[in-house]
Structures are given as structure tokens and as C-alpha cells.
A and B are shown apart, each in its own frame.
Chain A
């Protein structure tokens, strides 16, 4: 266990990073990260996640704005004075040092006494479960082990904030799931403030306290995984996190009207025309006696655990995923009646 951690809060105020004349990699970002929180920056490639992370790290200098660690502006402070550290996508383990030396690096740089270095490195290696491997070189480790060395190396210097830049993208799919759980477990156990960059929405939802969805340098939405999924603030977010159908409808403050199919819905949206966001798993076949949405079955694909359908709803395609067989009797071209689970539906401003 790493002792003596003093996690900090992080606040970004009007942060801007411009490359060259007109590339705004980060464009006026405001963000507050609580002590001990794991916040994920999520977004498509090139949206500025890495740049934002590197700004917090001090590896890039902001064009404008403030970066506050525990209310103190560090935006102009060089990286090595910031008490912030980072786990790199490539792990960046020093190839000419063995595992012990890699982990000890930060302590040696800080000129800690030898026996302190010894015990702290042991501690850190034990924490990530690599006790026996201290004398291997990085090239003799598997990807997952390298990743854990990188983590131990970052934690051993007791940073106030820990940054991750797509730490799992070099691992194969199965390992990725396990390592992300390990990271989350360790992060919660240590209570260390963390910022985590990924473009994998599933990963983001699985490990974060809160997720920031970014788009072209701007924050689209901030919220808990649940909020983002159930109440996306924009089409972009709805599309990026999970998949979604968008149908035109009306809202009167209490009920949604979707082509005559009406149900009660509570959301802070102005009455009038709206875009109804429907998750694929919200769609079910309706019983004959209940109100329903009229649709035509266009195609279906049986995937074992679930079946995927494409319906035509008044000229708009509607994708649906139903667990099990759904109503296997329906055939292509049949008229069907559909019901929407209210929990997986949300309203967006009209197009």
C-alpha cells in the first residue's frame, strides 16, 4: 500500500490550447475534478483528449486559461514541479533499466535515501502484484506486466493527480477488461484523483465516476455514466455513447407523442417539437391490447443471445436489439406494433 498520498482537486478554467495559427486542440474548457474522483475524457480521435491531459501534466503550455491543483494555479509551472504524473499509452518503460530501476527512477531523481527507495519500490511492486519480477528487463515482461510496472512507477512517487492516456490500447481485448478493473480497484483503494483518457466508450462507462465527452476541443457533456447514457445532452453524445435512433416527435410537458403513440415522460425540456432518442434495447414488440407504434419490419438478424431488427417507422429507420428471439414469427415486410421502454428513451431539442 502506498502511504502518504495527498490527492488534490483539479480545476480547469477557460483552458485553451492552440497549435499553429488555427488548430484549437482544446477550446475554452472548464472542468472540476473532485478529490479521489476518476474522471474520463472521452471522444473521437483528434478531439483534444490527449492535449487536455498533457496540459494538466505540464507537457504542453496552455495558450490561455488556468489549471488549479487544490486552488493553486499551476498553468505556468514546469511539469516537474507539479506533483502530477502520467501513465503512457506505450508505457514508456526505460529499456536500459530493469523493473526495480524503472520503479525507483522517480525516487532516485528525488535523491531519496537508498533503504527508503528499497522499501517503497517493494511496496509499489507488491501493490501491483509483481513482487518476483524486480530484476527482469521490460522486454522480458508481457504487455499486462509492463502496464503494471508503469503504474507502480507512477504511484511510487505519490503524485497528487494521476493521469492515464489510453493505457489499455496496447493490450488484447480480454486482458483489457481485467486490467481496467484492476486500475479502477486500485484507484478507489488509494483514493487518488485520476484523469483517464480513452476513446472506448465501454471502457469509460465501466470505470469512471464521471465522464467528459469532448468534441473538437469543446466539452459536449459532463456527467456520470448513467446520466450520459440515459440523458445525453446532444445527438453527438447519444450517438457516441451506445447507439441511438432519432425520431421526430412532440412533447407537451408531460407526454411524448410519437406518431400517435403517446406515453408519459418526465424531462426538463421545453414543450413543442422534439427529437426522441430511442436506444435499440428500448424497443419491444407490443401486445395487441396496448397502445403502440406502427412499424414495418425491414430485416432481422439472429445473433444467439439477442436478435437485431431494423424497422421502418414512417420513413425513418429504427434499429432494435431484443434479447432472446423477440417475436420470431414476424417476417420481412410484416406490419408490427412496437412498444418503447420509457427508461431508455430521452428527449433532445428538435433538429
Chain B
């Protein structure tokens, strides 16, 4: 029977399609409960202390009455028997009022969030999510809509807002715009380059000599090539300028030139080595080479970034095994740019290698075969076919190494010597010189440099979202690399492998040696110290915090990946951009940012384990995002749509379709989030507090105090346990994944 012909009175109360009751009723009720719990504040941290003053303040304020009123209205409206979409519009309107009023109250009162506040906010956000979905304003169901809101909120609160505070603190001091700190920092010899009165030499004169050399060199070359005199002049000027820049980089003692010099050494070297290893791994003829590359590619993941620097002290330091015991020199050349550069090259080459391996393996061998059938020899093929095709991968690897080098904190702090570095100055100006505004200036400059490089990379690669340069290995015989090149590269790899192995071994040995460089007798003393002292406790605390942070990092990363890859909504670019930002931002910058952002006000978090967890969640989320994006790309979206068409909501679809199919990816993402959390240092070092000490930070402190044996014990335990976790869990995941997907092998 036609519904329109039914008399109004006889119409069923429930609309024929749609929801009898808006799903918003539950979150509305939650918000109301939260409202009653608002007075449970936590100025002194524990979540559940009842604050009588707060109670009076909160219940009395008109804004909060408005919140309560709107939430109750939303609850009542949820039961109204009108068409779903129209009802949702009404709920949406009052929901916005409720949220706006309660947020306004938090801003005004600056009361730290307590349990009640979390309930109110979560409830209201979910309420809006329900309403947005039911009103048809967001494609997708209430879960999707709420997720979009939550994720946007998180990106805003935990990524963009902290970074904003850094930029603000660099030029906005004591409530007004003030460029004095900015200018003073810029002019300070610590920051820039030349005219340092404290150093013995005259950097300006030295630099000008470089400039002159460049000028003469370029001019001579131009004259030799017999170009027109205007061209000679132009080249002479260019040469002079280049010489000046180079000289400034070398003699400028400040943080900026030092970091730039470091980058200009590390990025090309790491990229070229990465390329060499990738070529070897892909096209080499030796199986042993490939196996050693597999190991090399996993090492940086399980090793805290600065551990190699610390091992270098063992081998090459003042009392180093090689330098002191074998060569009998007492040199400290590794403390300074050479040492840091070496440590960074060791740390970042595997990353470049992984990236380039992906881009090499996506090359189509048919292209090279075609070139060879046209009579091109191996060298010609390499130059005309392979090289142009890997160039984008090289650009990516280069810029990534650049970013890593600029952002690196651990290596410069251990091996930096008396040079200054951007990333460490951020930390030292805050904790050493107690000047937050100066820290902000360093942070802002570093941030802008890194973001510049980062967006250059994205622009260069055509802005594919989250897509790393990876590809399916294509079948077919790959052109072998020229024999001579292969021999050379194999030698490089061999030296590299021996050196890295020696470094790792020295950590293990160092943890059992009485006193490195002096007395190599076997002892368990460092381990006893480790277990008796704070070490073990801190290690356990770190593992716990890392594990706690890994789960939300993975889930959130999966959610972001899902939303960005599978949903279309207003603000998608924003979410994507924010997540990328948290990936690109140097850890030290994010560290000060968190201090600035969460030291006071409604979101008071400093000096708690919570802030460490949150920091780790958002720092490691991008790892999970990339794992999930790669996994999702393998799944036909029509599987999810089929599930929707069978009336499953998106959460059900995730649980029953996506999770089983992606279990492998998810576990991998989880493990990597855990491992990166355990090896994190640069951001966490700002956030640790008494009672909330982090293993890597402690280790760094021990190295600093010269307690190398104990540090080596901690390093050994970290590396061994992470290796175990990776091997065991990944194996489990592989078995689990095979079972879930019903693959018969």
C-alpha cells in the first residue's frame, strides 16, 4: 500500500526506513553524565579527585548551564518521531551549541581537564558525529563521522597547536610581539656563522680566502674554455660566492652552518651508499651480499639512533680500541663534524637503502632488456635507462636523509664536540640556558628548514599521499651491474659490514668489560649495576609506556589511513597534512612544542607519563599509517562496499572484513610502533620527569657522565630484546595471517 495514501493518524510512528531513535541519544547521555563529573578535576594530577571549588565554579557558570541544557535537549530530540535526517539536523544544532559552550568555558576557566571533561568532550563529539551522519552531511555512518571529528581534533590539538606555540613563542613574548629574542639569537655566534670573538682564528678572513680561491679557480677554468669575457666574469662571481658559502660552512662555528655542512656531507653520502647497496642487493651475483643487506636493513630499526655513536667512542674515541690500543694515538677527531657525520651516515644509509631498493625493484626489467637488445652495454644501459628511472627515488632518499640529519639529536649530543647543532641547541637553550624563547627560535628555524625539505620532496614526487616508493618485485632477469662496479661496491659493503659488526660487538663486549680502554677483564658488574640501580625499573617503565602507546598509535594510524584512503570528507587534506607534519617535524622541536603547549591551561599534561604516551602515539602514528595504507591498497574497496550493502556498519566491516584481511599488516604496524617508541629519544628527552624516566634518555645520560659500561649494558639489553620482539612477533603474525586468510601453503 502506498504510504502517502495512509491517513496521517494511521501512519506508523516509526518511519519505514531510517532509525526510530537517533543514535545520538547515547553520547548525549554520556555528555550529561560527564557534566555531573566535571568538578572532578585534577590540578594535582590524579584523575579522580573531587575539587569542591571547581564544583562551585562549574555548576555556577552560565556557559555550563547552557551546555547542560543543550545536551539534555539533544537527548530529548533523539527520541522525536520525525524522519531521521530532519531530526539529526536538530540534534546537530543543539550539539554544536553544547560543544561551543563547554569549550568556551574551558578556555575561560583554564581549569585542567579531568575525567568529567573528557567524558563531556568525547560525548559531544560523538553526538555531533551521529548527527552529521544521520543528517546525511557526512557520507558514512556515525562511527566514520565521529572518527573524522576525533582525528581532526587530535591533529589540531597534538600536532598543529604545539607547533604553533613554537612559532608563537619565538616572536611573541610576555603577551606582545617582540623580535628582540629572535634577532639576538640570530646574531649570537652560537647561531650563525662568522665573527666569533671567542675563537682564536678569524673566520671572516679564512672564509674570504675560500671565496678568492673559488673566484680564481672558476675564472681560470672559464679562460681555459675560451668563453666570452662576460661569461668569465659571471663565472668568477659564481665561484667567489660558492667559495664564500663553503668557507662559511666550514669556519662558521654556529649551529646553522654546522648543521648545513653536516647535511651537505651526510645526505649525498648516505644516498649514494644506499644506491650502491640497493644495486648490489638487486643485481649482485652473491647470495651472501644479499643476506648481509637484509640484516643491515633491519638494524637501524632496533637500534636507538645514537647507539652507534656511542659505540664509535669505544672503537675510535680517545681511549678507543682502534685509535688508542691499536694505533696508539690519542686523538679526539671523532668529536666534531667528522664523528657526527660518520655516525649519521651509518644510521641513515639503511633508510636510503630501503627506499631505493623499493624504487629499483619497481623497475621493469623488460626496459633494460630492450636496451640491451638494441646493443647497449651494461654501462650505457645503466646511464640511459636505469639512472633516469631511479632519479625520483634518489631525490626522495636524498631529501629524507637531509631531514633525518637536520633533525638528529642523539649523535650530535654524544659526538658533537664543541660545535653547535640546530637540533641540540633547541634542547640546550631550554634546559641549559633556561631560555624558552631562544629554544623557540631555534625550533622555528629548524622546523621551517625541515618542512621546506619535506615539501620539496613531496612536490618533487608529485605529492602522492603517503605512498612510499615501493613496488612489487617484477619477474624477469635484471640486467647485471658491470663486473668492475660490482667488485668495487662489494668491497665497500664488506668494509661497511665489518665496521658495523665491530660497533655492535663493541657494545656487547663493552658491557662485560671492566673499564673500556683500560681494563678489558670480564665482569658482570655493569649488569649488576643495571639491575640493582634504576636501570631495570626504567627499562620496564619504558617497555610499558612503549607498549601502551603502540596500541593507540596503530589503531589511530589505521583509522587515519582508512579515512584518508577510503573516505571522502571535508578536511581530508587537513588530516593528511597534519599526520605528515608529525612525521616530518624534528623530535626536539616537537619536544619543546609539547612543553610550551601542555604546561598550563586546560590541557595540562607535563610531568606525567600521559604526555610521554601521547607524544609517542602521535610520533609513531605515521609509521602505522604507512603500513596501513600499503595494506589497504591491496584490498579491493568493493569488499567494504559489499559489506555495507549487507547492512554492516563501518565498525562491523572493519572488524569482520578489514581486520582479518589485514592482521599481518596491523601486527607489523603495532610492532614497529612499539619498537620506534622504545628507541625514541629526541622528543621524549623533554618530557621525562622524575619517576617517568625513559631508557634511551637514561642511556644518553650515562654516556654523558662517562658510565660507558652501564650504558653498554642498557644498549645490549635494548637491542637484544627488540630483536627478539621483532623476530618472534612477526613470525607469529605471519602464521596468524596465513590462518585467517585461509591460505594453504
Query: Which A residues fall within an 8 A CB radius of B?
Result: 57-61, 69-86, 88-90, 92-96, 98, 105-106, 109-110, 137, 150, 153-154, 157
Residues 362-401 of B contacting A (Cβ, < 8 Å): none
Q: Contacts A153-B646, A157-B646 known; A72 to B3 CB distance under 8 Å?
A: yes
Task: State the CA gap A19–B78 with chains docked (Å).
Answer: 32
Task: State the CA gap A89–B642 with chains docked (Å).
Answer: 11
User: Which secondary structure dominates chain A's binding surface?
Assistant: loop
Neighbouring B residues of A77 by C-beta, 8 Å: 17-18, 84-85, 136
Neighbouring B residues of A81 by C-beta, 8 Å: 17-19, 84, 647
Interface contact B139-A105, CB-CB below 8 Å: no
The contact of A86 among B134, B642, B657, by CB within 8 Å, is: B642
Neighbouring A residues of B742 by C-beta, 8 Å: 95-96, 98, 137
Interface contact B639-A92, CB-CB below 8 Å: yes
Neighbouring B residues of A82 by C-beta, 8 Å: 17
Interface contact B741-A80, CB-CB below 8 Å: no
Q: Contacts A76-B135, A96-B660 known; A70 to B644 CB distance under 8 Å?
A: no
The contact of B645 among A57, A70, A71, A96, by CB within 8 Å, is: A57
The contact of A80 among B15, B648, B656, by CB within 8 Å, is: B648
Q: How far is the CB of A197 from chain B (nearest CB, A)?
A: 14
List 19 additional A-B contacts (Cβ < 8 Å) besides A69-B17, A85-B646, A105-B646: A59-B645, A60-B139, A71-B3, A72-B17, A74-B17, A76-B85, A77-B85, A79-B644, A81-B17, A81-B18, A81-B84, A85-B645, A86-B641, A106-B647, A106-B648, A109-B646, A137-B742, A154-B645, A154-B646
Task: State the CA gap A109–B3 with chains docked (Å).
Answer: 28
Interface contact B638-A90, CB-CB below 8 Å: yes
Residues 652-683 of B contacting A (Cβ, < 8 Å): 652, 656-657, 660-661
| Residue interface bits B611-655, CB-to-A below 8 A is 1, else 0 | 000000000000000000000000010110111111111001000
Neighbouring B residues of A80 by C-beta, 8 Å: 141, 644, 647-649
Neighbouring A residues of B2 by C-beta, 8 Å: 70-71
Interface contact A109-B16, CB-CB below 8 Å: no
Name the residue of chain A whose CB is nearest to the CB of B659. Answer: A96
The contact of A92 among B17, B83, B638, B656, by CB within 8 Å, is: B638
Q: How far is the CB of A45 from chain B (nearest CB, A)?
A: 18
The contact of A61 among B139, B636, B648, B656, by CB within 8 Å, is: B139
Q: How far is the CB of B735 from chain A (nearest CB, A)?
A: 15
Q: Contacts A80-B647, A80-B649 known; A75 to B136 CB distance under 8 Å?
A: yes
Interface residue B8 (Cβ < 8 Å from any Cβ of A): no
Neighbouring B residues of A154 by C-beta, 8 Å: 645-646
Q: How far is the CB of A241 from chain B (nearest CB, A)?
A: 29
Interface contact A71-B139, CB-CB below 8 Å: no
Neighbouring A residues of B641 by C-beta, 8 Å: 59, 86, 88, 92
Q: How far is the CB of A111 from chain B (nearest CB, A)?
A: 10
Interface residue B133 (Cβ < 8 Å from any Cβ of A): yes
Q: Contacts A77-B136, A109-B652 known; A88 to B741 CB distance under 8 Å?
A: no
Task: State the CA gap A246–B311 with chains docked (Å).
Answer: 85
Q: How far is the CB of A76 from chain B (nearest CB, A)?
A: 3
Neighbouring A residues of B217 by C-beta, 8 Å: none
The contact of A76 among B136, B141, B660, B740, by CB within 8 Å, is: B136
Interface contact A92-B642, CB-CB below 8 Å: yes
Interface residue B140 (Cβ < 8 Å from any Cβ of A): yes
Residue from A84, A96, A153, A154 having most chain B Cβ neighbours under 10 A: A96
Task: State the CA gap A95–B742 with chains docked (Å).
Answer: 8
Interface contact B645-A79, CB-CB below 8 Å: yes
Interface contact B647-A157, CB-CB below 8 Å: yes
Name the residue of chain A whose CB is nearest to the CB of B663. Answer: A96
Neighbouring A residues of B16 by C-beta, 8 Å: 70, 72
Name the residue of chain B whose CB is nearest to the CB of A163. Answer: B645
Neighbouring B residues of A109 by C-beta, 8 Å: 643, 646-648, 652, 656
